[in-house]
Amino acid sequence: MSEETTANSTWSRMLAGNRRFAEGKEEHPWQDKETRESLIDRQNPDAAVLSCSDSRVPPEIIFDAGLGDMFTVRTAGQMIDKSVLQSLEYAVSGLHVSLLVVLGHQHCGAVVHAEHDLDELVEHLTNEITNTRTKEEIMEDLDQVIESSSNEFLKNVGISVWQARMAGLEDCDDYEQVHIAHTIEQLVTSSEIIRDAVAHEKLMIVGARYRLDTGLVEVLSF
């Protein structure tokens, strides 16, 4: 079985589990004493999941998964730093997962927080307009200002909000979707291990968004 086939099968199984969860028909697989004991000395997860640390979005629960099924890394707004990157690289090169899911969600507090910080930054910069520097010139440099910021929410999530606005998008749902796409781009450009695994078809990356209102996971990229 090829890595692509394995990844597709894993993702189909995860989506089936999510449908069970949304319908209130969870099976709670692989959560028994025997499974726990079988995993004492080893783990062999099929997928890695980078998701938001929001308490309403635990991947193992919303995908109705069990012990050992997925390697999860969670941060607010699925922000990426060195430890996150190296954890996912371990999943790819050490555990040989064939699927990496970047999972955002509806009503993400990190996106709202970053949007607020971005608005404050724009207001601050606008107040610095002078006779020699126009608002348009300041806005042209905003990407660089955001990326050099010490504010992690602004640097990691605010840049996604800004890119969405530059594309004419103004809804928080749109910001969340753009941020998921931006996170995938960050992973591929920042990690040679992940980039090579994708290039050699050993890894498939999926962008998805969990809806709090329905309990369902939307597929954004495949």
- Per-residue pLDDT tens over the stretch 194-221: 999 999 999 999 999 999 999 999 999 7
Indicate whether 129 pLDDT > 70.
no
Distance in Å from the first CA to the final CA of the chain: 19
In this predicted structure, what is the pLDDT of residue 211? 98
pLDDT at 135 over 70: no
Q: Which of 74-88, 125-139, 163-177, 186-200 has the lowest mean pLDDT?
A: 125-139
Q: What is the pLDDT of residues 57-90, one digit of tens each?
A: 999 999 999 999 999 999 999 999 999 999 999 9
Q: Which helix (H) or strand (E) holds 35?
A: helix 33-38
Report the chain's mean pLDDT, rounded to a whole number: 92
pLDDT of residue 125: 81
What local confidence, expressed as pLDDT, does residue 201 receive? 94
Determine the Cα angle at 13 with ends 218 and 77, to 5°: 40
Q: Are 162 and 118 in contact (CB under 8 A)?
A: yes
Structural domains in the chain, sorted by start: 3-109+171-221 (3.40.1050.10), 114-166 (no CATH)
Is 108 known to sit in a ligand binding site? Answer: yes
pTM over 0.85? The answer is yes
Name the more confident of 100 and 3: 100
